[in-house]
């Protein structure tokens, strides 16, 4: 159900941006063919170069700002025990990076060590480097 909502929103947004692009393109082709030559003749070449330089600087700054925002809000996940963990010691799916939920899985030594991904429906068992199953509480303590 959640993927249907996400796909629907993506399709609606891509359609709106396509229509917006066509509108901007039609306005550009009609307006700038008549206005642009008049404006360029009235402006000096140094002013045009300064405006171009300012536009390039703004573009570079916007790209840098986009990367800064992306890296600031990106969750930093650390792989350990077969899953990935955030800074608050919460487990995440190593495939889709969504939070994991515990499920009751008893093994021969009566430990409960299973966790499920709600999104991709995969089950994970927490394992140490030696291959021993551990519980979620023990894994959080060992982190």
> For residues 104 and 101, which has the higher predicted lDDT (pLDDT)?
101
DSSP sequence for 7-47: HHHHHHHHHHHHHHHHHHHHHHHHHHHHHHHHHHHHS-HHH
Is 102 in the same domain as 115? yes
* Co-location of 89 and 136 in the same domain: yes
User: Do residues 59 and 120 share a domain?
Assistant: no
Final residue of a structural domain among 73, 91, 117: 73
DSSP 67: H
pLDDT value of position 54: 94
Whether residue 6 is found in the same domain as residue 59: yes
The residue range of the domain holding 121 is 78-142
Q: Answer yes or no: pTM beyond 0.85.
A: no
Please give the tally of structural domains in the chain. Answer: 2
Of the candidate ranges 10-24, 61-75, 111-125, the one whose mean pLDDT is the lowest: 111-125
Q: Are 39 and 59 in a shared domain?
A: yes
11 and 36: one domain? yes
Whether residue 9 sits in one domain with residue 32:
yes
CA distance 131 to 127: 5
Same domain membership, residue 8 and residue 69: yes
Considering the domain architecture, whether residues 43 and 88 belong to the same structural domain is answered as: no
Q: Which residues contact 109 (CB under 8 A, 6 or more apart)?
A: 133
Share of the chain above pLDDT 70, in %: 89
Same domain, 13 and 60: yes
């Amino acid at each position: 159900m959640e993927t249907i909502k996400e796909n629907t929103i993506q399709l609606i947004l891509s359609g709106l941006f396509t229509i917006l692009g066509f509108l901007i393109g039609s306005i550009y082709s009609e307006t700038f063919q008549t206005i642009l030559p008049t404006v360029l003749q009235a402006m000096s070449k140094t002013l045009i170069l300064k405006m171009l330089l300012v536009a390039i600087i703004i573009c570079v700054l916007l790209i840098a700002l986009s990367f800064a925002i992306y890296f600031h809000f990106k969750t930093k996940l650390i792989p350990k025990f077969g899953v990935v963990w955030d800074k608050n010691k919460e487990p995440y799916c190593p495939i889709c990076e969504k939070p994991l939920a515990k499920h009751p899985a008893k093994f021969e030594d009566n430990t409960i060590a299973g966790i499920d991904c709600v999104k991709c429906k995969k089950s994970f068992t927490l394992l140490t480097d030696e291959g021993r199953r551990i519980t979620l509480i023990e894994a959080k303590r060992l982190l």
